[in-house]
Amino acid sequence: MTYNRRRKHPSQKNASRRIYTPAPGIFSPKNQEEAERKIRQLEQQYQEVSKQLQILQIITDTALSHLTLDDLFREVLSRISEIMVADTIAILLLTEDGKNLVVRAAKGLEEEIEQEMYIPIGRGFAGRIAAERRPMIVHDISTVEIVSPILRENVRSLMGAPMIVDNRVIGVIHVGMKHTHLFTEHDLQLFQRVADRIAHAIDHALLYQAEKQARLVAARHASQLEAIFESMTDVISVYDSNGRLLQINQAGHEMYFAGDTASYMAQPIYESAADFHVRDEHGQLLPTERWPVYRLLQGEVITGSDAIDVIFDTPDGRQVQLSTSGAPIRDQDGNIIGVVAISHDVTERRRNERRLREALHALIAMAEALMQPSQIDGINTTSNIELVEQTIARLISNVLTCKHVGVAAIET
């Protein structure tokens, strides 16, 4: 296979060997010096920008790597002191009432923490920064108001910036030099960027701390409620909106179950309670719609004298009478999502009440019999009638354990 070759034009033969001569003056010593100076400036600017990015990256990494506030403060103070070669550093946070700044972390000014130094908003160096929401430089602190005597005695020059999150001032950070130091506008801009990153880190740490504290408080309260729940001698049970048992205390376990709790809790109460033969206080089978839990699920609140007495057979063969009260549990929209029922064992009390009623009826019957005219025809004196009355009153008082009993004979 052959290829057609193009022949070069005579003017192209020596093109690669041409030498271009620059115009006079382009690379003169003066212009070359100016170019080198500009290159050095660009290199310096590049180094400064790189340093800024490095500083911001270090602060950002530090901020993101710590969630607890104390750890964050410790690392931030260490990093800033290394980067900015400052004699003192202080981080002040806004108090809850928003009226003061309080020193929360410091390096070189630790006494301010020990003395719980408070700086009013609008006063002193940090107070002005917070009030005006802008960074500030003071080359000679003798020319401005300084609230903290510790700061006034240990620092000559200051630079500070507000810490702002979502347009909220949460605090102020400042660095100081023991001797007069001329901070630049460039330093101030960089320090504000550092303060912005620290502010977000502190805000996240505060939220984390608040959330952690809330969880601890909630866990403690839940533990206390659980202890109370389990120690109650009354049966406390919680049901969902379908009547399925969600939770029951120890008293309930002992009352209702013979060890098979899981199968009972897996069914709605209408099915699981069928074996209990639920009856009313008179011993008549109670229709499902009249069961306390069912009535609670319909939205009824049962309290006090309205408590419902039911009788049922326990798995271990006992007959128990409970007095039940409770209320529905509603969500934010008012929908019933469950119920809580409290049942008090009144078996013995009701048994004693029945005995007392029976004894009282017997006494009354005896009194009526004694006071019949046919029984007292032979009694002619008032003292004998009073003796019968006193005897009846004493018997009634002993049965009912009451202090005062009156017996009167009614003439017909």
CA distance 50 to 45: 8
What pLDDT shows up at residue 130?
94
What pLDDT shows up at residue 22?
53
CA distance 56 to 194: 6
pTM of the model: 0.53
Q: Look up residue 323 and give its DSSP letter.
A: E
User: Strand 118-120 to strand 100-107: parallel, antiparallel, or no bridges (unpaired)?
Assistant: antiparallel
Q: Token pair for residue 409?
A: 């004979």
What pLDDT shows up at residue 4?
45
Q: Token pair for residue 216?
A: 């601890």
Place of tokens 């007292």: 376
Q: What is the pLDDT along the chain (412 residues), one digit of tens a residue?
A: 443 444 454 555 554 455 555 555 555 666 667 766 677 666 665 555 555 556 556 566 655 555 678 888 888 887 777 777 788 888 999 998 999 999 988 888 777 776 778 899 999 999 999 999 999 999 999 888 888 888 888 889 999 999 999 999 999 999 999 998 888 888 888 888 888 888 888 888 888 888 888 899 999 988 888 888 888 889 999 999 888 888 888 888 887 776 566 666 667 776 766 667 888 888 888 888 888 988 999 999 998 888 889 888 887 778 888 899 999 999 999 999 999 999 998 888 888 887 777 777 777 776 666 665 544 455 455 556 676 677 777 766 766 666 777 766 666 5
Would you kindly state where each structural domain of the chain is located, as residue ranges? 45-210, 235-345, 351-400
Q: Token pair for residue 53?
A: 């990015």
Q: Token pair for residue 51?
A: 């340093």
What pLDDT shows up at residue 184?
86
159 near 187, Cβ under 8 Å?
yes
What pLDDT shows up at residue 28?
61
What is the assigned CATH class of domain 45-210?
alpha beta
CA distance 92 to 125: 12
174 near 158, Cβ under 8 Å?
yes
3-state DSSP assignment of residue 16: helix
* 235-345 has the same fold as 45-210: yes
Sign, CA torsion 356/361/363/364 = positive
Instruction: List, in sequence order, every residue forming a beta bridge with 165; answer none if it has no partner.
Output: 168
| Secondary structure (DSSP) of 175-207 | EEESS-----HHHHHHHHHHHHHHHHHHHHHHH
The CATH H-level (homologous superfamily) assignment of domain 235-345 is: PAS domain (3.30.450.20)
Burial class (CB in 10 A: 0-12, 13-18, 19+), 322: buried
Residue type for position 104? R
Q: Token pair for residue 13?
A: 């033969």
Helix (H) or strand (E) holding 168: strand 168-177
End-to-end CA distance of the chain, in Å? 153
CA distance 273 to 171: 62
> Beta strands of 206-304 (E only): which ranges?
235-240, 245-248
Place of tokens 């969500």: 331
340 near 325, Cβ under 8 Å?
no
Q: Token pair for residue 354?
A: 């029945």
What pLDDT shows up at residue 352?
82
